[in-house]
């Protein structure tokens, strides 16, 4: 049993969780991130979880009654799930989740009748991940806080440039009253740009109804819109590693020169991202110093 404060910026939240004192070699990693609960079996030996008369599994309980009510629990990703896991055995109520491991096994031996753990395509190299999506009852304000407005605004900015006939001048975005729909309205053309349910829509003008333009993730890839939330996690990690250069936490913003970054007034230093590259400059540096690609830094700092 272990009490943990859920933190989306820590991965995993619990390392080397040992459920059986008598079997010290069996351990799990447990991670909470936004609406995902992830269990990773870390033991590299063949194992079978057989329930017998007692249920074997993980029981998660809101011990302080501080979390919103749980509405549903489902598989988030089944590509690398442990063999034998049955999501229909998951039991939950508004304050707890029981993940039943009955019948789950992990074997290192390959034969014709069993799936086995090693999997080169898995991020862990094995089929040892149970990834669950937890839907909770959020207030409107909490739901809006989960909308990535910074990234959506960057997409809207690009679309204003690309489709200026529809979106002739820059407008500020806002939430429609009583909803999580995030929009920009252009009065001169009677057009809306709208982000709704993780999709992009055009509305108004020649589009009498919402015109589905595709998933936001696809639009981000198409127009090369960076993941600002992930970049912010990288900035946080760099601040922790180099506090003398980047002291105290600063908020990110768009800096001169088109960089997305942070300024540290006490040292007069900057760090920023541009064109998928990372840079640092200021009083502690000799000009603008290239520090690596985003992808390489994500790996170096273990940014999920």
State how far the Cα of 260 lies from the Cα of 248, in Å rounded to an integer. Answer: 18
pLDDT at 207: 76
pLDDT at 112: 42
Pick the closest to residue 43 from 17, 77, 72, 79 (CA basis). Answer: 17
Mean pLDDT to the nearest integer, 283-288? 93
Q: What is the pLDDT of residues 114-167, one digit of tens each?
A: 546 778 888 888 888 999 999 988 889 988 988 999 999 999 999 999 999 989
pTM over 0.95: no
Contact 102, 49 (CB under 8 A): yes
User: Is the pLDDT higher at 10 or at 296?
Assistant: 296
Asked whether the CA dihedral 210, 213, 216, 219 is positive or negative, the reply is negative
121: left (phi over 0), alpha (psi -120 to 50) or beta: alpha
**What is the enclosing helix (H) or strand (E) of 290?**
strand 289-293
State how far the Cα of 147 lies from the Cα of 139, in Å rounded to an integer. Answer: 13
pLDDT at 113: 46
Q: At what angle do helices 228-241 and 149-162 cross, to 10 degrees?
A: 130
Checking if the pLDDT of 103 tops 60, the result is: yes
Q: Give me the DSSP letters along 41-85.
A: E---S-EE---TTS--EEEEE-TTS-SPPEEEEEEEE-TTPPTT-
Residues 6 or more apart whose CB falls under 8 angstroms from that of 45 comprise 25, 108
Pick the closest to residue 108 from 156, 46, 65 (CA basis). Answer: 46
Contact 14, 29 (CB under 8 A): yes
Mean pLDDT to the nearest integer, 174-193? 93
User: Is the pLDDT higher at 216 or at 35?
Assistant: 216
Share of the chain above pLDDT 90, in %: 48
State how far the Cα of 173 lies from the Cα of 205, in Å rounded to an integer. Answer: 18
Place of tokens 């030996």: 45
Q: What is the pLDDT of residues 215-263, one digit of tens each?
A: 999 999 999 898 998 999 999 999 999 999 999 888 898 888 889 999 9
């Amino acid at each position: 049993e272990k009490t943990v404060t859920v933190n989306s910026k820590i991965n995993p939240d619990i390392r080397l969780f040992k459920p059986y004192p008598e079997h010290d070699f069996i351990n799990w990693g447990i991670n909470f991130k936004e609406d995902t609960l992830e269990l990773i079996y870390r033991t590299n030996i063949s194992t079978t979880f057989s329930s017998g008369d007692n249920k074997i599994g993980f029981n998660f309980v809101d011990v302080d009654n501080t979390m919103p009510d749980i509405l549903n629990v489902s598989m988030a990703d089944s590509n690398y799930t442990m063999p034998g896991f049955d999501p229909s055995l998951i039991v939950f109520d508004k304050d707890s989740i029981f993940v039943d491991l009955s019948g789950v096994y992990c074997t290192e031996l390959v034969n014709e009748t069993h799936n086995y753990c090693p999997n080169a395509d898995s991020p862990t190299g094995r089929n040892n991940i149970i990834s669950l999506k937890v839907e909770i009852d959020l207030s409107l304000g909490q739901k809006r806080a989960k909308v990535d407005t910074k990234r959506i605004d960057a997409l809207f900015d690009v679309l204003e440039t690309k489709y200026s006939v529809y979106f002739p001048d820059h407008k500020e975005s806002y939430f429609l009253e009583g909803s999580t729909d995030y929009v920009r309205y252009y009065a001169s053309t009677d057009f809306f740009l709208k982000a709704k349910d993780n999709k992009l829509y055009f509305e108004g003008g020649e589009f009498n109804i919402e015109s589905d333009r595709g998933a936001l993730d696809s639009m981000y890839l198409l127009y090369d819109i960076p993941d600002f939330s992930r970049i912010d996690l990288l900035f946080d990690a760099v601040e922790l590693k180099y506090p003398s250069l980047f002291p105290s936490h600063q908020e990110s913003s768009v800096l001169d020169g088109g960089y997305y970054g942070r300024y540290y007034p006490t040292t007069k230093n900057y760090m920023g991202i541009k064109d998928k590259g990372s840079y640092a400059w200021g009083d502690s540096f000799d000009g603008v110093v290239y520090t690596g690609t985003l992808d390489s830094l994500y790996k170096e700092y273990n940014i999920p």
